[in-house]
Structure 1
Amino acid sequence: MVQPKPKNLTREQKEAKVEEFADALEEYDVIGILDMQSLPARQLQEIESEIEEFADIKMSRKTLMNIALDNAEKDGIDELDTDEAMQPAFIFSKKDPFQLYSLIQDNQTSAAADGGEIAPNDIEIPEGDTGIGPGPMLGKLQGAGAQVQVDDGSIHVQDPAVIVEAGEEITADDAEILNQLGIEPLQIGLDLVVAYSDGEIFTSEELDIDTDAYREDIESAAAAGFNLAVNAGVVNETTAPAIISEAAQKARNLAISEGLPEEETIEEAVSYAASAAEAVESEVDLEAAKEAEEDDESEEPEEEASEDSDDEESEEEE
């Protein structure tokens, strides 16, 4: 783990450290408090080299950090509490707090297990030559559920084997096997517990957002707002092109459907009328209509003859 700085600092060294903190507090827009309690020194060195382009880590005794914070003149900086961390350190950056948190999460490094940790995901032993000679490790691998055999003087894993499932505790025996095989199953990174920016304090819970989901929500809200504005006829720089385009299309469709002889729509209007005529023709049986008309014409004389006959009969009776 990261060890605290030696406590036997001279007065001049303490003053120099406070001044170093004060300069950084003045220079950087974003100041965070890290908890270094669970971070091994080797992993810290790796992480520092990865984040040096966007952040700077400074640490010392908590009392010196608090003195620097008390003397800082930024509004609200006094709310930045080093007591939020077991072993605090400053992190300074010119990224905004959310970017800083995301970048920290992206710059984690692997670490070996000591036993007692909870597996973050399934821990698998890969297939192949372990490079370990036959001995106690052979039985330990078999006990962990791996199919193994000795070949050319070393232990070979026949098939990939999960020896610890996600959420389960890594035992001391599991840790020994993993360390022997050079497998580092843990992900270690900086723990940003609180950050200050422009007079506001952000906790890690507030900074831990799903950026992809957040972006989708923003895009969905923007699209819904745009559609509402267009449908409501709210004209502005963003909606004007869509509203004008929609109005032009409606006018064009009306001219076509009503057969208005406009130069831009005459071809479509004629085509529309022809299609409408074809649709009507397809629904009407012209042959049947013609036959029905002929039948009506042939029945009319018979009806007249029948009327004349009735008139003659009535005259005779008289």
Structure 2
Amino acid sequence: MALYTHHLPKWKKDEVDEIKRGIGEHSLVGVVDMYGIPASQVQHIRRNLRGTARVKMARNTLIEHALNEVGGSVVALREHAEGQSAMIFTNENPFKLFKLLEQTKTKMAAKPGEIAPEDIVVPKGPTSFKPGPIVGELQQVGIPAAIEGGKVKIRETKTVVKKGEVISKKIADALVKLDIKPMDVGLVLQAAYYKNTVFTPDLLVIDEEAYYRNIVLAAQQAFNLSVNAVIPTPLTIGAIIGKAVREARTVGVEASIYEKDIIDLIIGRAQREMLGVALAAEAHGFELDEATLKAASAATVAAAPAATEKTAEAKPEKEETEEEKKEEEEESGMAGLGALFG
């Protein structure tokens, strides 16, 4: 049901008009929760936001009046004006605003009755306290404290309050003494209206590192797809041509096509095969000249690292076909010997 301001005092009408102007002059308008923020912290936040965003404190009823008078889809923001709310106006997008507000938050001590935003953990290690009643106070709230070397020491890391649980007075007092400040204090964005859409915090929390990794992975996969599918682009044409050259060179070597760019590769392959034949001949009792033996030994050493990468699963198969391979080696060795020694 629409609310109107004709019955409001002038100062309230002025407040409503100011909110309406803020909505009209900015591309983004949001509702923030200011509960529990000390006045000094509010001033600090205002200074940090100066030039980027403007915060307007107002009663929830006046915020509702202003939203209703503006009308349209922005009215949906009134559902988020709860507690100690304020309006925020900016021309940034909601993701940047959310990140900016998160950066303005500071750590403060917990108060009794507050809800733990995350697991509250007391780390192990020495403290600055001398032996005294503090040991019993810590032990009463489940913190394993002991006296060691004339100082109070926390013997092991302890989670004293889990996320979502209420912080008791005793635990709050213990945390203050240990200088542990678990509470994030700052403007909490309840909702942001931007380009006819209402964004809630759950939509604005982004793991930037994960997104960056996903973008990098997508770029790599797109590059590979372009190269392998031969889809030329300014970024991949070089890799596509390089791949084609390598494949063409391989075909030339395998088919022994004597072109100037691959003749050295063909000769090198022939050299390796010749040395393989020489080693096979030597294994069957033929003597090799010193130069051939030296070259064959060098080739064997160079091939050793590649041989060590073979899996153990391949060994049984080799043993099963040993006789067949022996016969093949004898045949190839005799033929190679004739070619090698005339």
Give TM-score, length-normalised by structure 2.
0.66
Q: Find the partner of 1:107 among 101, 104, 107.
A: 104
* Maintained 8 Å contact 2:232/2:240: yes
Structure 1 CA distance for aligned equivalents of residues 178 and 196 of structure 2: 49
Partner SS for 1:253: helix
Closer/same/farther in 2, CA of residues 143 and 77 from structure 1, 3 Å limit: closer
* Cα-to-partner distance string for 1:53-77 (whole Å, 9 max, x where unaligned): 543221212233234334548x743
* Maintained 8 Å contact 2:53/2:91: yes
Closer/same/farther in 2, CA of residues 260 and 112 from structure 1, 3 Å limit: same
* Maintained 8 Å contact 2:138/2:174: yes
Closer/same/farther in 2, CA of residues 95 and 182 from structure 1, 3 Å limit: same
> Paired residue for 1:64?
62
Structure 1 CA distance for aligned equivalents of residues 181 and 227 of structure 2: 56
> Paired residue for 2:324?
none
CA deviation after TM superposition for structure 1 residue 126, in Å: 6.1
Structure 2 CA distance for aligned equivalents of residues 163 and 140 of structure 1: 15
* Maintained 8 Å contact 1:34/1:85: no
> Paired residue for 2:274?
277
Letter in 1 for 2:169: A
RMSD over aligned CA atoms reads 3.6
CA deviation after TM superposition for structure 1 residue 122, in Å: 0.2
Letter in 2 for 1:36: M
Structure 2 CA distance for aligned equivalents of residues 278 and 84 of structure 1: 85
Q: Find the partner of 1:184 among 165, 181, 200.
A: 181
> Paired residue for 2:146?
147
2:226 equivalent to 1:241: no
CA deviation after TM superposition for structure 1 residue 216, in Å: 2.3
Letter in 2 for 1:271: G
Partner SS for 1:237: coil
Structure 2 CA distance for aligned equivalents of residues 81 and 116 of structure 1: 28
> Paired residue for 1:129?
128
Note the residue ranges of structure 1 that are not aligned, 5 or more in a row. Answer: 1-8, 294-318
Give TM-score, length-normalised by structure 1.
0.70
How many residues are matched? 277
> Paired residue for 2:33?
35
* Maintained 8 Å contact 1:255/1:265: yes
Partner SS for 2:191: strand
Note the residue ranges of structure 2 that are not aligned, 5 or more in a row. Answer: 1-7, 287-329, 336-342
Sequence identity, in percent? 30
After superposing on structure 2, the runs of 4+ consecutive aligned residues of structure 1 that deviate more than 6 Å are none
Partner SS for 1:192: strand
Structure 2 CA distance for aligned equivalents of residues 228 and 250 of structure 1: 17
Partner SS for 1:184: coil
2:199 equivalent to 1:202: yes
CA deviation after TM superposition for structure 1 residue 281, in Å: 3.4
Partner SS for 1:147: strand
